[in-house]
Structure 1
Amino acid sequence: MMDLDEIDRGLIRALAQDAQASAGALGRQFGLSQPAAWRRIKRLREAGVFRGVRLDLDKAALGFSVTVFLGVKLATKGRISLEDFERVVAAIPEVQTVEHVLGMYDYRLRVVARDIPDFERVLRRRLMTLPGVGSVDANVLLSEERRPGPLG
């Protein structure tokens, strides 16, 4: 874990909001020269603080208006390895995230679909046919509010 000062935390917050912000603009925002801002960003990147840059896609604009969270309980853990299940389920394009969790379920999946009938198709034809699936519990996302993370 690296020591972060207020400027580092500010840079992280700013880049979390706009990963394409230039070092010059960030330097002006935080009272640094462009090279000093660039050096700090480079140091944070090399320390592994940033895992990468990704686009925040508008699922509805792409035709995916339904998001469902699935709790998946495997039937018997001995018959299929967790790695095999993760590999197979991650290959399904509608599955956005695969989280191995502790509690009532073995996995929590975030699945997108065009509509409820499309989700039912994905559930019946792709997810329920996976080896090792015992029970599935679905929760349809009604609304989502993004909140700043621990540094926000």
Structure 2
Amino acid sequence: MEAKLDAIDRRILQLLQADGKRKIKEIAHELQMTNTPVFERIKRLEKDGFIRGYKALLDRTKLGFMLTAFCSVTLEQHHKAYLDQFEADVRKIPEVVACYHLAGMFDYLLKVYVKDMADYQFFITKKLASLANIGRVQSSFVMTEVKEESVLPID
């Protein structure tokens, strides 16, 4: 699917990643194009799924989410139905901002934002531990966030 992208498409994606509120007119000026073809390209990129949506990036600490934790989760059973149920349940927990199904020592890695350790304890004991099929959970806490990007390296 990547073959559908030419240099102009890639540049549009770069510009929108840097600033999703950038106006068509600004992008067209940057690309030395008129508005209409840029608008049509953006609509095609959206339709083809290269652009999934537009969001504001919030500062979690200003909103009081001071603790970031990674939970490594091992399930007791690995049948498809159990995996599907776990994934459906995790999607409903707002503190979980990312969930990855892994190959290796653990089955899943969860990224969790909470206000403090008391909130994390509540999350673990009342939310995560209440899910069926949890075998083991190992927690790691972020001391310093060195890098977190949502920008893809588009050449």
The answer, yes or no, to whether TM exceeds 0.5 is: yes
CA distance in 1, matches of 2:77, 2:4: 44
The question of whether the paired residues in 2 share the 8 Å contact of 1:67 and 1:140 is answered with yes
Which stretch shifts more, 31-40 or 80-89?
80-89
Structure 1 consecutive aligned stretches of length 4 or more whose deviation exceeds 6 Å: none
The question of whether the paired residues in 2 share the 8 Å contact of 1:95 and 1:109 is answered with yes
| Aligned residues with identical type, % of pairs | 31
Match of 1:40? 41
Match of 1:20? 21
Is 1:146–2:148 an aligned residue pair? yes
CA distance in 2, matches of 1:136, 1:78: 19
Structure 2 residue runs of 5 or longer lacking an equivalent are none
CA distance in 2, matches of 1:48, 1:78: 31
Match of 2:51? 50
- CA apart distance, 1:5: 2.0
CA distance in 2, matches of 1:45, 1:78: 36
Structure 1 residue runs of 5 or longer lacking an equivalent are none
Which amino acid in structure 2 is aligned with residue 28 of structure 1? Answer: H
Match of 1:85? 86
The question of whether the paired residues in 2 share the 8 Å contact of 1:70 and 1:109 is answered with yes
Q: TM-score when scaled to structure 2?
A: 0.89
Which stretch shifts more, 69-78 or 21-30?
69-78
CA RMSD, 1 decimal: 1.8
- CA apart distance, 1:54: 2.0
CA distance in 2, matches of 1:80, 1:41: 39
